[in-house]
């Protein structure tokens, strides 16, 4: 049974919530996932929910937060858009999770080899995808650490650097555009942190990215 079931979520600190995610990711990497009685969880959650974490992640089919962090139903409020972009609708969802459902931490999570990031690196335009690419372009144009002049999706170093910078910029977009979340941050009721999931290793890397802790 998931240990998160027995946690007092009301008294959980943002750091406690992060620790739960880090521990869960370690179990996922080591293939030691907890047993989960999903039918029991469905019954327990049918009238309410109190997810301890809200995650703004990419829509990529390989990047499912509940699996990556070894959590179960009711643990994670998952907001997923290609390129993990913090558009206003995504921010509104995060506001709801934190203010009204009691989530203690927001994780903005990118991932390696991200198709949306690659498309932005190539200035790809087609249909409504273009609207997503526009929200990723600031990270592309402001990435200055790549020395190789080939600044496109063929350059894996450039793609990786843009991915990390995009996570940081989406965090800043959330803070800049949400009075609700800024207030919760000022009161130390929530924290925001960035992470990048490695498709090969299964690890979510937090330590290279800024946070509000």
The pLDDT assigned to 176 comes to: 97
CA 17 vs CA 46, 109, 190, 211: distances in Å: 23, 15, 9, 14
Q: Cα–Cα distance between 122 and 111 in angstroms, integer? A: 18
Q: Spell out the domain ranges in the chain.
A: 3-113+168-205
The pLDDT assigned to 6 comes to: 65
Write down the pTM of the prediction: 0.93
The pLDDT assigned to 111 comes to: 98
Homologous superfamily in CATH for domain 3-113+168-205: Carbonic anhydrase (3.40.1050.10)
- Render each residue's pLDDT in the chain as its tens digit; 213 residues: 355 666 788 889 999 999 999 999 999 999 999 999 889 889 989 999 999 999 999 999 999 999 999 999 999 999 999 999 999 999 999 999 999 999 999 999 999 999 999 999 999 999 999 999 999 999 999 999 998 889 999 999 999 999 999 999 999 999 999 999 999 999 999 999 999 999 999 999 996 555 666
Q: Please give, one letter per residue, the 3-state secondary structure of 14-75.
A: HHHHHHHHHHHHHHHHCCCCCCCCHHHHHHHHCCCCCCCEEEEECCCCCCCHHHHCCCCCCC
- Scored b (16 or more CB within 10 A) or e, 21-33 reads beebbeebeeeee
The pLDDT assigned to 1 comes to: 39
């Amino acid at each position: 049974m998931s240990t998160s079931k027995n946690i007092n979520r009301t008294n959980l600190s943002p750091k406690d919530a992060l620790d739960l995610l880090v521990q869960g990711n370690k179990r996922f990497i080591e293939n030691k996932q907890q047993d989960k009685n999903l039918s029991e969880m469905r019954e327990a959650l049918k009238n309410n929910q109190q997810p301890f974490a809200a995650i703004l992640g990419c829509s990529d089919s390989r990047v499912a937060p509940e699996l990556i962090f070894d959590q179960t139903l009711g643990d994670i409020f998952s907001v997923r858009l290609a390129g993990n972009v913090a558009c206003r609708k995504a921010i509104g969802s995060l506001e709801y999770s934190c203010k009204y459902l009691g989530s203690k931490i927001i994780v903005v999570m990118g991932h390696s080899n991200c198709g949306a990031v690659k498309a932005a690196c190539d200035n790809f335009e087609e249909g409504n995808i273009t609207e997503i690419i526009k929200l990723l372009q600031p990270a592309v144009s402001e990435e200055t650490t790549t020395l190789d002049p080939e600044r496109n999706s063929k350059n894996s170093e450039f793609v990786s650097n843009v991915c990390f910078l995009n996570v940081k910029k989406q965090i800043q977009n959330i803070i800049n555009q949400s009075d609700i979340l800024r207030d919760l941050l000022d009161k130390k009721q929530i924290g925001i942190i960035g992470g990048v999931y490695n498709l090969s290793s299964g690890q979510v890397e937090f330590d290279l990215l800024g946070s509000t802790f």
